[in-house]
Amino acid sequence: MAKRRVTAIVKIQLPAGAATPAPPVGTALGPHGIQTMEFCKQYNAATEAQRGTVIPVEVTIFDDRSFTFVLKTPPTPVLLRQAAGVPKGSATNKRVVAGTISGDQLEEIAKTKLPDLNANDLDAAKRQIAGTARSMGIKVAE
């Protein structure tokens, strides 16, 4: 069997269980000759349990117009906003606090994000998440 050659790797952030062939899926995958409806069916089936969150996906496209995809963990700002219960971060993060999360919530987010972070252990992941929270104006209560 001959090896399939990779022609492109496309990264998209989509709502879980609610992908449609309309943009951004169609505009990202259409030029590569991928059937967007087939991708949407597979993506929606894979993310049905996580409905309501944004799930990034990395689509590997091969020269025979077939594809595979890998689901990633939700973006850190999305998880932080959900934990703090705020619709968005602070525009002036050093002066205005948009919300507060507990140390336990920080640890839970770090455990969720650990596979996709370039951190060696949980403490390093917690520091990265705390830095993102600080830049969003979300205070971490110890």
15 in a structural domain: yes
pLDDT at 137: 83
State whether 15 and 61 are in the same domain.
yes
Q: Which domain, by its residues, includes 130?
A: 76-140
Distance of CA 26 to the CA centre of its chain: 19
Record the tokens describing residue 100, joined without a space.
Answer: 């507060």
CATH number of the domain residue 45 falls in: 3.30.1550.10
Which of 24-28, 80-84, 107-111 has the largest mean confidence?
A: 107-111
Distance of CA 89 to the CA centre of its chain: 17
- Report how many domains make up the chain: 2
Give the whole-number percent of the chain exceeding pLDDT 90. 0
- DSSP letter for 82, please: H
Helix spans in 16-121 (H)? 25-29, 36-47, 76-84, 103-113
State whether 20 and 65 are in the same domain.
yes
Q: How many CB atoms lie within 10 A of CB 85?
A: 9
1 in a structural domain: no
State whether 20 and 57 are in the same domain.
yes
